[in-house]
Structure 1
Amino acid sequence: MGADPSKPGTSRDTETVAIVLATSPAAGLPWSDGARSDGSLLERLTGQLRALPVREVLVVVRGQDAQAEGWEKGAESGPPHQIRVSDGLAEDLRIVAKTARASTSPVAVLAADLVAHTEALSLLLGHPARPTGALVASGDPAPLRPPVRTEWGRVVSAGTSFHEVEWANGTFRGVLQVGEAHLAGLADIAEDLADLAQRRHLGRVGDGEVPELLLTGLVRAGVQVHAVALDTLHCGRAGTRPAAERAVRELADVDEAQARLDAAVKSGDGFFTTHCVSSWSRHLIRPAARLGLTPNTVTGISVGFAAIAAIWFSDGRRAGLVVGAVALYLSFVLDCLDGQLARYTRRFSPLGSWLDAICDRLKEYLVYVGLAAGYVAGSREPWEIWALAVGAMILQTVRHMVDFSYAGAMADRARAAGLRAAAPRSMAVPWDEAPAAAAAKGTGSVLALSRRLDALSAARGVAYWAKKMIVLPIGERMALISVTAALFDARVTFLALLGWGAVALAYTTGGRMARSFA
């Protein structure tokens, strides 16, 4: 299915230009899933690209061989396509550089011997934001699966057969996309790498390592590269016919539709959201999509339920508090659903993100007002409850100021790092200079400890969930409000919010300061 220009992020101006490197003999390998055989790996991949928002396909070959001609004949119904002849690695890189300089759209670089689920490719190439990113997965490095290190959803170190990675925790799976903002940097890096390859300064790097080289160059230049995790989906390169046949058979073991649904549910949410909301709200995603609901529509309905909760809370009686608690819970379920629906349908927009953030605060503060009004309706002292309500609002506002200001500072730092591109000679050494320097200064043990703690947290034990809950995320806040309001009264609710919120603020601020000094 082609791109729909009526949807956010799918206009022709933002669709990806794909460079497919059919420079290895494996690109011409036949593929078969056991029931049928349909052309070469190159033809299979380009067929998948036609189903994605790809504006143009450029196939780089070593010569006008039969596999390229066959693909060209079968590509009449797809996006515009070209074939470029290259005589080696340096020329491959220069073609990438020239394409990046001429393009006004994101550029993707893929190896033609790739065997992948279409849904796996769509995680990156079909994302409406068109980010600079790479497909990564867990597993041990191999010749066609170079090592990477990822932290906080970013690739922070990448390797090739020449370049080394310290503390590798994943592998690169051969699909790289560079967003429009980084195209000039991609062109510079590709040209620098081409010069190094021509002078044979890249050691034993082979002709088929263009995506790996470009990823390593981008990371070393300070470009933020998103690490797009595959989870249950498959994507990888096949160097031999048995490997290709085995990889194609493995694709059938995964339900792509279910994998897409699973990917729509965030994996890093808090305890309450993960176990008491997302565990069943996932069943509402497909019905919502079939009904044609947009994420912004679901956000609006969520605000409506929060308003209903506030009205019932303002009643002040036990029945009203219980009904309000149920309405607030349903409002939060819809608040989770709008993001899940956006990820499932890939209908993201800056307006939607802004509305979601604004409406979260609006709903929460509406509920505060309703609780305070209901408490006053019970003929109790108004000044105390309104002071507690205002205090809870102020505390929550300060917490969000800390979060957003830190996120802004980190974004500024990343942009500054992007302007300080690494010198071309940095690619002529096999190790990352920054980790090596850190180890020389005695901070390597700190980094190693950080990696061990991250691995411990990944097990999702008590420590993991305690770390998630202590910061009082929105799921825990909604649960706290609902339970304390239904069982007690507004005074208990506000005191609980102030107490837990103060601990969360101290914990978050301390952690941000420590991380900044580190």
Structure 2
Amino acid sequence: MPDSLTHGSTTTSAVLLATTPAGKLLSGDGTLFDRLNDQLTTLPVRDVHVVREGGLGADLRGVAAIARAAGGALALLPADLVAHTEALATVLEHPARGTCALVSLDAAATPTRPPLRVESGKVVTAGSSFHAVPEPNATFRGVLQAGEADLACLADVAEELAELADAGKLGPVTPVEAVDLLLVGLVRSGVAVRAASVGRLHADRVTGQLAADAAVARLAEVDEDEVKLDACVKEDDGFFATFFVSTWTRHLITYLVRFKVTPNAVTGFSVALALLAALWFSAGGQGARVVGALLLYLSFALDCLDGQLARYTRMFSPLGAWADGMGDRLKEYAVYVGLAIGYGVTGIWNLAAAAMILQVVRHAVDYTYAGAVADAGRVGAAWGRPARSLLESRDLRGSPPGVLRFAQRLERDTVARWLKKAIVLPIGERMALIAVTAAVWNARVTFLALLGWGAVAVLYQLSGRIARSVR
């Protein structure tokens, strides 16, 4: 039976897989197992279950039993893992407590770094010594968390894998690969597994004392606080936000933390500045429009900063996400009204209304598609992709449609990737477009630019959504 150690009072539990001799390797005054267990005490983990060596089938059944009894998210970690605490936190401290895996966006697979394919931040194909991954672009680094909604699936997968392993149907797999196999099973069952990137941090499984000593020594080469600060900036942000805002807003985060400013407070300041920008735009003169443009830029900078602060402090909440989204709409539409008032010509309201309607349509396309994807995950086989057999050694997902193949090719080219991000007219580009055209020309040029670029963005989004839905 697994051991259990109590750590705190949160809704996440952890399973330490002490199923290989490497967990007993020395590290400081204890073992790698002790080191990892000590790290878990600093993270929001309620209790730790320890699965001892008993053979692959028995180990997997032990995980299944724990998953069926768990009352919240369940994290699985092999005891031979040497990792930065911050790397573990990217999985265990995420407030969504959903299903995710710690990955490196490095395709150089080894026996302790099984291959993966990651698309749009999700693990779509996972491998083991038996399960091959066509065109891998990432590797698994040993930490897997199942969200509460996926615990039953985790238990079912663990039991199925245990039966296959006992029957010798998984070829060369060993107890070392228990967590790797569980990731394969979840992905092939259609569970959405978020890919939490390790980035510049380290997370490696080791097999000998020399390797363990070297892995521990490598941890000191990285400043975890600096990496955490860098990680608070979204990797997939737009061009304007990445190069004209985040380059300086990230330096304000430590001061905000010191003065205990919350992300929601930053959101409030952002809305206030946008309303002031709208007021200045309504004055109509070019000088007033320049001031409005500067206030709008600062408002957007704070809009980026509230997200960065939330990621740094991990102070996410449904209220905060709702307030941020609603605040974005309020700010943008208030600015439209201010520009239309300042222009002073009756016909401008038609353009303002058209621009507003176009943005509503664009957001509807995004949110309805995201809602359909979420429904697919909940409903299962009727909407979601069918489960794939664990006995198939190769996970052939089929060739994507032409539009998706073209989009994937764009991702490999830096310039094309940024153009792809800009073409959908994200909020950063919209705010920049509004600020520049309003300050240099007038509201009519602003609305015509929004309508022209927005129409291209809608067509691009619709084609992509349709292609992905067909896929």
TM-based fold match above 0.5: yes
- Give the aligned residue type for 1:19: V
1:457 correspondence with 2:380: no
Q: 1:397 to 1:307 in 2, by over 3 A?
A: same
Which of the residues 16, 20, 23 maps onto 2:19? 23
- Answer yes or no: is the 8 Å Cα contact 2:107–2:115 preserved in 1: no
Of the structure 1 ranges 413-422 and 313-322, higher mean CA displacement relative to structure 2 is found in 413-422
1:42 correspondence with 2:33: yes
Deviations 1:118-145 (A, max 9, x none): 0000000111111100001014110111
**Could you tell me how far 1:373 is from its partner in structure 2?**
1.0
Q: 1:302 to 1:140 in 2, by over 3 A?
A: same
**Could you tell me how far 1:421 is from its partner in structure 2?**
9.2
Unaligned runs of 5+ in 1: 1-10, 32-36, 63-86
| Other-structure match for 2:206 | 238
| Other-structure match for 1:99 | 66
1:505 correspondence with 2:458: yes
Which of the residues 111, 117, 136 maps onto 2:78? 111
Unaligned runs of 5+ in 2: 1-7
- Answer yes or no: is the 8 Å Cα contact 2:310–2:316 preserved in 1: yes
- Give the aligned residue type for 1:371: L
| Other-structure match for 1:475 | 428
Of the structure 1 ranges 90-99 and 192-201, higher mean CA displacement relative to structure 2 is found in 192-201
1:12 correspondence with 2:4: no
- What fraction of aligned residue pairs are identical, expressed as a percent? 57
Q: 1:455 to 1:391 in 2, by over 3 A?
A: closer
- Give the aligned residue type for 2:97: R
Aligned runs of 1:292-303 on 2, under 5 Å?
A: 292-303=260-271
- Answer yes or no: is the 8 Å Cα contact 1:223–1:418 preserved in 2: no
- Give the aligned residue type for 2:421: K
**Could you tell me how far 1:89 is from its partner in structure 2?**
1.1
- Give the aligned residue type for 1:49: L
> How many residue pairs get matched?
463
**Could you tell me how far 1:387 is from its partner in structure 2?**
1.1
Partner-residue secondary structure (3-state), 2:16: strand
| Other-structure match for 2:5 | none
| Other-structure match for 1:146 | 114
| Other-structure match for 2:99 | 132
- Give the aligned residue type for 1:159: G
Deviations 1:115-173 (A, max 9, x none): 00000000001111111000010141101111111111111111111111111111100
- For 1:453 and 1:498, the matched residues in 2 are separated by 24
**Could you tell me how far 1:486 is from its partner in structure 2?**
0.8
| Other-structure match for 2:3 | none
- For 1:88 and 1:451, the matched residues in 2 are separated by 43
1:286 correspondence with 2:240: no
Of the structure 1 ranges 89-98 and 118-127, higher mean CA displacement relative to structure 2 is found in 89-98
Deviations 1:249-285 (A, max 9, x none): 1111111001001110001111111110011111111
- Answer yes or no: is the 8 Å Cα contact 1:221–1:418 preserved in 2: no
- Answer yes or no: is the 8 Å Cα contact 2:60–2:178 preserved in 1: yes
- Give the aligned residue type for 1:162: F
Which of the residues 341, 347, 352 maps onto 1:389? 352
- For 1:397 and 1:215, the matched residues in 2 are separated by 38
- Provide the TM-score with structure 1 as the length reference: 0.86
- Answer yes or no: is the 8 Å Cα contact 2:100–2:196 preserved in 1: yes
- For 2:30 and 2:198, the matched residues in 1 are separated by 26
- Provide the TM-score with structure 2 as the length reference: 0.94
- The RMSD of aligned alpha carbons is 2.0
| Other-structure match for 2:390 | 427
**Could you tell me how far 1:516 is from its partner in structure 2?**
2.5
**Could you tell me how far 1:498 is from its partner in structure 2?**
1.1
| Other-structure match for 1:224 | 192
Partner-residue secondary structure (3-state), 2:389: helix
- For 1:209 and 1:305, the matched residues in 2 are separated by 53
Partner-residue secondary structure (3-state), 1:483: helix
| Other-structure match for 2:50 | 59
Deviations 1:320-346 (A, max 9, x none): 111111000000000000100000000
Aligned runs of 1:34-433 on 2, under 5 Å?
A: 37-62=28-53, 87-137=54-104, 138-376=106-344, 381-382=345-346, 384-417=347-380, 426-432=389-395
**Could you tell me how far 1:459 is from its partner in structure 2?**
4.2
- For 1:108 and 1:52, the matched residues in 2 are separated by 12
Deviations 1:359-392 (A, max 9, x none): 100000011111111111xxxx32x111111111
Q: 1:259 to 1:455 in 2, by over 3 A?
A: farther
Of the structure 1 ranges 503-512 and 217-226, higher mean CA displacement relative to structure 2 is found in 503-512
